Amino acid sequence: MSPTGGAPLVALTGATGFIGRRMLAALSDSGVRVRALARDPKRLDGVLAAGNVVRGSLDEDEALAALTAGAHRVIHCAGAVRGATREQFDAINVAGAARVAHHARNAGAGGLLLVSSLAAREPHLSPYASSKRAGEAAVKKALGELPLFVIRPPAVYGPGDREMLPLLKTMARGTAPVFGPPDARFSLIFVDDLAAAAAAWATADTPPTGLFEIHDGKADGYSWLEFAAGIEAITGRPVKLRHIPSFVLDVPAAVNGLAGRLGLVSPMLTPGKLRELRHPDWVCRAGAPRLLPGWKPRVGLHEGLLSTPGWRPVSGDAA
């Protein structure tokens, strides 16, 4: 219950994004009230009442003050995933995150959940990874004594995803492009399990604290062969692993990086992103489900793939 006796109020950033939208739904289903920050409130029409949407961005103190005022807890899900330089990522993933934490502390919120990234474990790999690690430190400093819970998701997939969808489509056609070592392993999480974790944190009697590298319950992650087998089981079509030579992507990544530094584009494929893709170990390790009482992963790879629309040419699948 909130101090005023009504349903607890949770302030949420990133509510219009792939993960944030599912978190918004999970929070609403859990019985809490949600107030969301949005640059364009119309994107939440029909999802939240107008009075529960604050127009603004992470660099607007007035909007963040309005977002966090009276909040029982704060979930910071917004972040930058595209860019070329550390400065570009830091503006959102460090300065923006710290600003949210500062206002959460000023508002007397009971705790903050930061949605970080498993990439933060390897900050040397890319500007993005280093910004997520620095963002964790900046939030902790800005919060002071307020409880902080950091979730580091691995690759997230599910309805609404646009980053993994091209890979799934390619694999459905019979080829799995392997960018790094063939024995690399990685964890996965279905978006609704991640959203349910946020709802479990928001509704816990005492806000959990710590660092949790969240995954779908497969403790040792997946190999490319296991991931390909999961696709094969659904499509009935063999999936062949194909190692992508370095030179195939090095040149376009370098060009994208230069264009990004010049401010011409906000690229996804950059030299830093390639280093992330080629890293051999993205298996979640830190933390355990017990950090979140009442939560456990419910969606395995097979069910998650079946619940992800748009990647396989099956009648009735959403495009």
Q: State the average pLDDT over residues 300-314.
A: 92
Q: Is residue 126 part of a domain?
A: yes
Residues, the chain: 319
pLDDT tens per residue across span 204-218: 999 999 999 999 999
Q: Is residue 173 part of a domain?
A: no
Q: Is the pLDDT of residue 48 over 90?
A: no
Q: Are 77 and 93 in contact (CB under 8 A)?
A: no
pLDDT at residue number 316: 41
pLDDT tens per residue across span 53-91: 999 999 999 999 999 999 999 999 999 998 888 999 999
> Which residues have CB under 8 Å from 109's CB, separation 6+?
11, 68, 71, 72, 73, 74, 146
Q: Is the pLDDT of residue 135 over 70?
A: yes
Query: What percent of the chain stands above pLDDT 90?
Result: 78
Here the CATH number for the domain that contains residue 37 is 3.40.50.720
pLDDT at residue number 314: 57
Q: Is the pLDDT of residue 300 over 80?
A: yes
Neighbours of 206 (CB within 10 A): 9
Sign of CA dihedral 302, 285, 96, 113: positive
Q: Is residue 171 part of a domain?
A: no
- Averaged pLDDT score across all residues of the chain: 92
Q: Is residue 180 part of a domain?
A: no
* pTM beyond cutoff 0.75: yes
Q: Is residue 119 part of a domain?
A: yes
Residue 229 has φ and ψ, to the nearest 5°, of -65, -35
Nearest to 249 by CA among 276, 224, 226: 276
Q: Is residue 212 part of a domain?
A: yes
> Which residues have CB under 8 Å from 182's CB, separation 6+?
224, 241, 243
pLDDT tens per residue across span 33-42: 999 999 999 9
Q: State the average pLDDT over residues 238-248.
A: 90
* Residue 215 or residue 319, greater confidence: 215
Whole-number Å distance between alpha carbons of 266 and 187 = 26
* Residue 129 or residue 288, greater confidence: 129
Angle, CA of 101, 154 and 13, to the nearest 5°: 30
Give the domain range for residue 138. 9-160+188-217+283-298
Q: Which two tokens stand for residue 245?
A: 């030579």
| Number of domains, the chain | 1
